[in-house]
Amino acid sequence: MECPRKFYWADVRRLRLPEDNVHLHFGHVYAAAHDVARTQWLEGQSTPQDCLNTAIYTACYEWGSFPNNNKKNIYSLVASLRAYYNKFPLNKDKVQPYWIAKDEPSIEAKHTAVLPINNPETGDPLLWYVRFDWKGLDTVGNLYVIDDKTTSTVPAMWYEQWQLSNQLLSYVWTTREQGVGDKAIYAQARCAAIYKAGPQIIKSEPMLYKEWQLESWYQSTLVTINKIIKDWEDNTWPQSFGTACGAYGRRCNYWDLCMSNDPEPIVEAEYIHHPRQEVY
């Protein structure tokens, strides 16, 4: 948790700015297109080109009437899909999606794990919930957890940052908790970098986290959750005054609230409430 106050505004109060965010929309449409392509391929009745065509159709439909006044637009999105499946052809990718169970593909798979901390209101154990972009098996049976990303810039640390990625460590830990026998679990990030000259598809090296790294992540996560509960009970939610305020070179969505001594009128005037999605 980068900032307790941001967590309060975003996850406790569920506040969102009403204007459309091109980065979120682009990522959502990109993921939806991959989902249908991989699912169609997994069903085993289509060629790679058929699956790509379906992905492009889905992208155009999901994009809708969203403006195209940014380099992240429907044209660069379609170009990214073409570039991705040129680099990772569905019939040649060494990692292939699979059926977790009947009618349950390893695409947009959802898992939960029980935590040894109780909900402060109900007393029930808290659940750790994750939703993967997709999981796959390689030719020797190793399990991969793969996350598809998009970005407008590729910083020097891009390839290394995933070694300490909270997201990927969480995915691997949760997968392990589901029980995978003696399978090795690798994590990988694949990314479409959007440039004016055209997209570039990059990837991290497959990461096989060591047991002590997963345990360190788990214990750190428990500490963070207990801090959240403490903030909940005390209604404190301190500001971090750190990098979260200007992450990705943009002001935090809650900047104006943190810059005000009386944020509630701004909440009423400028923010909307985003309903919580229940986990079943």
Ranges under pLDDT 70 in the chain: 277-280
Q: What's the CA angle centered on 137, arms 133 and 141, to 5 degrees?
A: 155
* pLDDT for position 268: 96
pLDDT the model gives residue 232: 95
| Whole-number pLDDT of residue 21 | 85
Burial code (b: 16+ CB inside 10 Å, e: under 16) for 125-148 equals: ebebebebbbbbbeeeebbbbbbb
Q: Which pLDDT score is estimated for 225?
A: 96
**Eight-class DSSP state of 182:** T
pLDDT confidence of residue 156: 85
pLDDT at 277: 67
How remote is the C-alpha of 120 from its chain's centroid?
27
**Tokens matching residue 69:** 């006044």
How confident is the model at residue 275, as a pLDDT?
Answer: 81
Structure confidence at residue 278 (pLDDT): 62
pLDDT at 229: 96
pLDDT at 179: 85
- Alpha helices for 179-254 (secondary structure H): 211-234
CATH number of 18-209: 3.90.320
Any idea where the domains of the chain sit in the sequence? 1-17+211-280, 18-209
Residues 6+ apart with CB under 8 A from 276: 14
Structure tokens at 158: 């891009």
